[in-house]
Structure 1
Amino acid sequence: MTPQAVRDLIARSNRLGADPTTTNYAGGNTSAKGTGTDPVTGGPVDLLWVKGSGGDLGTLTETGLAVLRLDRLRALADVYPGVEREDEMVAAFDYCLHGRGGAAPSIDTAMHGLVEAPHVDHLHPDAGIAIACAADGEALTKEIFGDRVVWVPWRRPGFQLGLDIAAVRAADPQAVGVILGGHGITAWGATSEECERNSREIIATAQAAIGSRGAAEPFGPVRPGFEPLPGAERRSRAAALAPVIRGLASTDRRQVGHWTDSDVVLDFLSRDKLEALAALGTSCPDHFLRTKVRPLVLDLPPAAPLEDAVARLRELHAAYREDYRAYYERHATPDSPAMRGADPAIVLVPGVGMFSFGANAQTARVAGEFYVNAINVMRGAEALSTYAPIPESEKFRIEYWALEEAKLARMPKPKPLAARIALVTGGGSGIGRAIAHRLAAEGACVVVADRDAGAAATVAAELGSADVAVPVTVDVTDPGAVAAAVDAAALAFGGVDLVVNNAGLSVSKPLLETTDADWDLQHDVMAKGSFLVSRAAARVMIAQGLGGDLVYIASKNGVFAGPNNVAYGAAKADQAHQVRLLAAELGEHGIRVNGVNPDGVVRGSGIFAGGWGAQRAAVYGVAEEDLGAFYARRTLLKREVLPEHVAAAVFVLTAGELSHTTGLHVPVDAGVAAAFLR
């Protein structure tokens, strides 16, 4: 049975973690002390429950808690070898675990165990960090909080910091918490309710001080010409720049992007102090571990010509990489981990917004959220005093901490399509839906494009959150709609790497019954539609400089001359030859173009359900419900082709094992001899 202390801890954690100004995603930790049962003796034992490494307060559950014996944890103070060897203490936590121990203990475990209070919160609130990062933070702490909150100078998280805070608690019984220089806050209480109340008191008092005593324009005046662009123009500019910036940010390893133009961001980017403050970088360890030591800032006004902005971004990126390498070389020791990459995680474009990057969409989004927290911190610090983050050398010690390196090494191996951005047309049903599911399952971010907005939204929701998939409504025969869909991919994830031209329909009629409208419809959707989508996507892929994949879902009918099928078969033949033509043209950009030729996919197919099945069944003289079995009987393998078989072929073509293959058509027809490629 879960102890009441643990239930209270989880509820408190979820409340605190729900507000990004109280603590950031996966940042901070909370704890409770109580009595449990020794699994060996059956007797009582004093325990500490504390949020484990890598967990998130807002979504914390009992499985995310580390559980330690309090007597053993506190006994570590007697064998603590000092700050020069304190990293060894993290491994020692494993010997303090109770039973199976739950989640892995974090570096902050000592803080919670050593402080003599039943409940402890360690949080990263914007207002608290603003005081922690102010040049005169110690004096401000005394002035704002009196003796209820005590200043603790900057110290890297670890066992010694836990001892420091425990000493404050012992020496200042009237104190309810501390401001941790350059870092955040810690509060405590006799009950879970009191602890949360003390945490919120510190945050609210800090917010009130900033609001009532702070400067009116802490970032300085608006720079003329650097005001935000109007909404539609801003979105268009962001879509044009996103692939270029993503390509630059992916120089060392492919990244997913996220764009935000929130009021907080746009205001900061318009102000006189932007470049000076951005150059100082963030301070709280949780911030700069995700945003890097500092952002890249475009130093041109929003109205500058696009080509000038692109050229300047390339210059700034080259300089950023040189500066980052110099930063690494200034501080690295023989024992330091190898440099992980010199590309920016945050790119700030005045008038347009912030582009953030990470190994997946969630990481990219969270990096941006952390930089918004950093903006709030800088605003508060500048309002009360002067923003003074921790020294660069301390940032390096944490960024290249052996414990951080070990945490990275424990991360699971990326999936085959990780950091790839896929656009699937006709993704709202049938083959397209199956392809979208397979690509998402293999790690891709997926843009589900369909003429039916509801179907696209349904499939995107099936795949997961907006960090996994987004829907777009598009008529592939409309160049403007196609361009908007590709722009949506750029704004959602930074660009596009993998396009599946799957949108289609079919009309089965003899030549003499095929109307001009039938012919135009078939060719507009499949031949012209594929051309428009490939053209728009290729522009983005070339701008990114990361290569890419175009996959056409053609048909065995592009090769096999079936009866009563002239419009459909001719349109599929057009698509099939586009594969060859574009493979020849786009190879120099590293863009591979391949096709998949399925036999009739009856089950789960929107085309067959929309009337094509009845038409083809009539041509072959079978009942419509028997059409799938009929197709299977005429194949060499006697197997019916399903949507997931087509999706498997798309995955094989794009997952990397066929990296030297382009201009190929892969039959997925269970063996139709008349459709053999020759």
Structure 2
Amino acid sequence: MNAHTKKFKHVDYLWDDEKAAALEDDQVALFLYRSNILGADLRITNYGGGNTSCKTIEKDPLTNEDVEVMWIKGSGGDIGTLTKAGIAGLYTERLRNLKNVYGGLEDEDRMVGLFNHCIYDLDSKAPSIDTPLHGLLPFKHIDHLHPDALIAVAAAKDSEKVTKEIWGDTMGWVPWQRPGFDLGLQLEKCLNDNPGIRGIVLGSHGLFTWGDTSYECYMNSLEVIEMASEFIEKKIKENGSVFGGQKVTSLPEKERKEKAAQLMPLLRGLCSSEARMIGHFNDSDVVLEYINSNDLERLAPMGTSCPDHFLRTKIQPLVLDLDVNEDTHDSDALLKKLEPAFEKYREEYKEYYENCKRPNSPAMRDPNPVIIIYPGVGMFSFAKNKQTTRVANEFYVNAINVMRGAEAITEYTSLPRQEAFDIEYWLLEEAKLQRMPKEKPLSRKVALVTGAGGGIGKAIADKLAQEGANVILSDIAENRLQEAVETYPRDVASYAVCDVTKTESIEDAYKKACLEFGGIDIVIHSAGLAISKPLTETTEKDWDLLQNVLVKGQFELAKQGVAIMRQQGLGGDIINIASKNGLVSGPNNVGYGTAKAAQQHMSRLLAAELASDKIRVNVVNPDGVIVGSKIWEGEWAEGRAKAYGITVDELPAHYAKRNLLNEIIYPEDIANGVFALVGILDKSTGNIINVDGGMANAFVR
């Protein structure tokens, strides 16, 4: 353990001397290391927030002379995951020479374009709006961070006075101003007026700190944040209560989760009036302390102060006027209470837009809330994908911490609405949104896949995730699920142990889907087993097992899934993985073939019944999926080999030769059939797609 580790209580000291020493000869690599460990602590800066830089001496490729180059996080990056590919390298002198052509505040947007004329490294990421803030300061290493404690100081009433109270003459202070070239000039002036300071507090915004080395810069940042945190902690102890004390008592955790899972699909449907959204739920102690407080009613409408916060959370949350013990089982009655609240929020957002818009403002964006608060239960967020909604939730937790600190110091202040609007609808911010990559076909959708611990089910889950969906993998074997879910990036997949023969187990899987992602859009019943026996050898146990897993499981999955889809009002897809054996009469197959035929006809019946809800029900029929399929392990393979008078080892070649295309069928081929139905054939229902290489006796017509 490093000696410095014990020095800090409110931030994590993560500097590893051995790792840093290995990077000593590469200052850019060391700057990236510093950035990553700063970004690893959400109390220091949240995902995508803040900026870091370093300056080095390089050879100018045109003159071969030594020049100073500034390396800085590029636009849209995240310091916690920053790599060389995510930074920009600029000639420092050229950047400073832009002062000669700067025409004032109305010239800010043009200046961003001029940053490109300062590029040294041709592989640079697009320079961010913070670039001049770092370039106009002389220090070799600079951190611009958004720590909760510092933003609390920056957002507190009498912020400048508070800054002096904490740090004396060692810290500068600059009032709120939108990031840009002029703010860089203000930082330069503040340093010139106060030589020897260790950093600058930006009103309502964040912190600038620096050092001669990467380590000195890191330590300076941590020490400044620690001092602010200690000051706030002392104030909170002096005040004796936070947020005016508790007004609402939280439900026990299990009941909170239950209520949240019931409410999520309704909230998701309401938040998706313009575009489908993905949800996230948070009932941490920090959240509950705030949402249950007496001051919630006063603070929530004020909105957040830091631009990084409200750009992700919208200017203010929607607070639900629901009793903590509200009956959330009656979705129709609950919807009647929720709809007016959402409509009021949308109208108020439209008023905010109309009152603040400029002649050249972009069109109004989705007026639905991002953050939704239910006192006594928790905080919901909804955005275009899981990462975005999780990060929005995290940013509002940061905002809560800021409000707590500012209220303890003096009094919390938020940005004026016009200032907030000018950030939210800044043309440069709009350009950044327009540069976002095109969404994948299944983005914004949530899929539950049974039998996803391996084989066909896992291949289907992989394909849906690859095409943009969030996936809940379900299976009866948790060890297989744990291994399977680790193959996906963060924010893509989760799992639920589920026995499809048990109603309660299916219910728990859907609750997991609702809590994790907000609801359900796609249900894939891929769980299965196969028993190949002649009539006289087929036992009642065999019969019941096949019927329960394949038929009853499909029925209960559809019944519960449709209830959630109807709450959302967004339509949906149900895909049942049946088999060629449901269409073809073959030997030694009475139990399995009958169950598969029942799956197919149930799908047709449901397609007819659910069409008015825009819920489509289709079937994929595999055949001969031997490689990678769990069904072909053991007795089923032996039974089919016996039926065809061949050995088990001869089965793959036998199945490949008997289809018209003479192709081996893989789990991935079945997954492609599923994707065709949920991602391409969006006006198809009641259909069967055979993925079998062509079996004439299985043609549906």
TM-score (norm 2): 0.94
Q: How does 1:317-328 map to 2 (within 5 A)?
A: 317-328=342-353
Instruction: For 1:150 and 1:218, locate their aligned partners in 2 and report how far apart those are by CA, in whole Å.
Output: 29
Q: Quick check: 2:174–2:202 contact (8 Å CA) kept in 1? A: yes
CA contact (8 A) 1:39 1:99 kept: no
Query: 1:501: how far off?
Result: 0.6
Maintained 8 Å contact 2:88/2:121: no
Aligned to 2:148: 126
Between stretches 6-15 and 406-415, larger displacement belongs to 6-15
Match of 1:65 among 76, 87, 96: 87
Which range is displaced more, 353-362 or 301-310? 301-310
Deviation per residue, 1:528-583 (Å, 9 max, x gap): 01111111111111111111100000111111111110110111111101111111
**Change over 3 Å in CA distance of 1:157–1:551 after alignment to 2:** same
Q: Which amino acid aligns with 1:677?
A: V
Partners of 1:167 and 1:611 lie apart in 2 by 81
Residue 681 of structure 2, aligned match among 646, 649, 658: 658
* CA deviation after TM superposition for structure 1 residue 216, in Å: 2.6
Q: Which amino acid aligns with 1:434?
A: A
TM-superposed deviation, 1:2: 9.4
Deviations 1:594-621 (A, max 9, x none): 1111112111110111421121011101
Structure 2: how far apart are the matches of 1:564 and 1:611?
13
Q: 1:197 offset after TM fit, Å?
A: 2.1
The residue matched to 2:166 in structure 1 has which SS?
A: helix
Letter of the 1:666 partner, please give it.
Answer: I
The superposition leaves residues 97-144 of structure 1 with CA deviations (integer Å, 9 ceiling, x where unpaired) of 003052111000000000121211110000000011112112111222
Query: Quick one: distance in 2 between partners of 1:390 and 1:12?
Result: 31
The amino acid across from 1:148 in the alignment is: T
* Distance in 2 between residues matched to 1:581 and 1:216, nearest whole Å: 64
Picking from 508, 530, 544, the partner of 1:484 is 508
Tell me the residue number matched to 2:203.
181
Q: Secondary structure at the match of 2:633?
A: helix
Share of identical aligned residues, percent? 51
- Superposition deviation, residue 239 in structure 1: 0.5
C-alpha offsets along residues 450-473 of structure 1, whole Å, 9 cap, x if unaligned? Answer: 0111111211111222x0111211
> What is the distance in 2 between the residues matched to 1:99 and 1:31?
14
Tell me which of 59, 62, 77 is aligned to 2:99: 77
User: Which of the residues 606, 613, 616 maps onto 2:637?
Assistant: 613
Match in the other structure for 2:109: 87
The residue identity in structure 1 corresponding to 2:230 is: A
* 1:411 counterpart letter in structure 2: M
- In 2 relative to 1, CA 610–297 (structure 1 residues): closer, same or farther, beyond 3 Å? farther
1:573 alignment partner in structure 2: 597
Residue 697 of structure 2 is aligned to residue 677 of structure 1: no
User: In the TM superposition, what whole-angstrom CA distance separates every residue of 1:263-287 from its partner, at most 9, and x where no partner exists?
Assistant: 1111111101112211111111110
Aligned to 1:261: 283
Contact kept? 2:523, 2:575, Cα under 8 Å: yes
Q: What is the CA distance between 1:659 and its match in structure 2? A: 1.7
Q: Matches of 1:625 and 1:36 in 2, distance apart?
A: 65
Q: For 1:24 and 1:172, locate their aligned partners in 2 and report how far apart those are by CA, in whole Å.
A: 29
1:488-531, CA deviations, whole angstroms, 9 ceiling, x for partnerless residues? 01111111110101110011001111111100000000000111
Which residue, 213, 224, 249 being the options, matches 1:227? Answer: 249
- Stretch deviating more after TM superposition (103-112 or 578-587): 578-587
Deviation at residue 218 of structure 1 after TM alignment = 3.0
Report the Cα distance in structure 2 between the residues aligned to 1:220 and 1:2, rounded to whole angstroms: 50
The aligned counterpart of 1:407 is 432
What does 1:403-442 correspond to in 2, within 5 Å?
A: 403-442=428-467
Whole-Å separation in 1 of the counterparts to 2:311 and 2:476: 41
Asked if 1 retains the 8 angstrom alpha-carbon contact of 2:501 and 2:549, the reply is yes
Residue of structure 2 in register with 1:637 after alignment: 661
Distance in 1 separating the partners of 2:26 and 2:683: 60
Q: 1:365 aligns with which of 387, 390, 399?
A: 390
Note if 1:247 corresponds to 2:272.
no
Task: Tell me if structure 1 keeps the 8 A contact 2:85–2:123.
Answer: no
Q: Distance in 2 between matches of 1:240 and 1:340?
A: 28
CA distance in 2, matches of 1:409, 1:566: 57
Deviations 1:423-476 (A, max 9, x none): 1000111111110111111111111100111111211111222x0111211100
Instruction: Give the aligned partner of residue 181 of structure 2.
Output: 159
Contact 2:70 2:135 in 1 (8 A): yes
SS in structure 1 at match of 2:612: helix
Please state if 1:43 is matched with 2:65. Answer: yes
CA contact (8 A) 1:116 1:169 kept: no
Equivalent residue for 2:609?
A: 585
- Secondary structure of 1:100's counterpart equals coil
Is residue 532 of structure 1 aligned with residue 544 of structure 2? Answer: no
Matched, 1:169 2:194: no
Distance 2:241 2:171 in 1: 28
Question: For the residues of structure 1 that align with 2:24 and 2:608, how far apart are their CA atoms?
Answer: 64
Instruction: Report the counterpart of residue 395 of structure 1 in structure 2.
Output: 420
SS in 1 for 2:381: strand
Q: Report deviation, 1:46.
A: 0.8
1:639–1:2: structure 2 CA closer, same or farther, 3 Å change rule? farther
2-structure distance, mates of 1:436, 1:537: 17
Of 521-530 and 344-353, more deviation after overlay is shown by: 344-353
Instruction: Determine whether 1:217 maps to 2:267.
Output: no
Q: Secondary structure at the match of 1:45?
A: strand
Q: Identify the residue that residue 461 of structure 1 maps to in structure 2.
A: 486
| Counterpart contact for 1:265–1:372, Cα < 8 Å | yes
The one-letter amino acid paired with 2:687 is: L
| Equivalent residue number for residue 518 of structure 1 | 542
Number of equivalences: 674
Do the aligned residues in 2 keep the contact of 1:300 with 1:309 (CA within 8 Å)? no
Answer with 368-377 or 621-630: which moved more.
Answer: 621-630
* Corresponding letter in the other structure for 2:250: P
**Cα drift, residue 3 of structure 1:** 5.6
> What are structure 1's unaligned runs of at least 5 residues?
none
Instruction: For 1:344-359, list aligned pairs within 5 A.
Output: 344-359=369-384
Give the alignment partner of residue 673 of structure 2, picking from 634, 643, 649.
649
Check whether the contact 1:510–1:566 (CA below 8 A) recurs between aligned residues.
yes
| Cα deviation 1:211-233 (Å, max 9, x = unaligned) | 1123332311211xx21111111
* TM-score where L is the length of structure 1: 0.98
Corresponding position: 1:547 with 2:534: no
Moved more, 521-530 or 350-359: 350-359
Point out the more displaced range, 197-206 or 437-446. 197-206
Q: Is this contact kept in 1: 2:24–2:30, CA < 8 A?
A: no
Q: Distance in 1 between matches of 2:110 and 2:24?
A: 32
Cα distance in 1 for partners of 2:148, 2:455 equals 47
The letter for the 1-side match of 2:37 is: R
RMSD, aligned CA: 1.3
Q: Partners in 1 of 2:294 and 2:92 — Cα distance?
A: 51
CA distance in 2, matches of 1:460, 1:12: 31
- Cα distance, 1:4 vs structure 2: 3.0
> Which one is further off, 307-316 or 295-304?
307-316
1:199 maps to 221
CA deviations 1:353-386 (Å, max 9, x no partner) are 1111221111111110000000000000111111
Asked if the contact 1:496–1:541 (Cα under 8 Å) also holds between the matched residues in 2, the reply is: yes
Structure 1 residues 198-207 or 508-517, which shifts more?
198-207
- 2:695 alignment partner AA: V
Q: Distance in 2 between matches of 1:514 and 1:269?
A: 59
Match of 1:501 in 2: 525
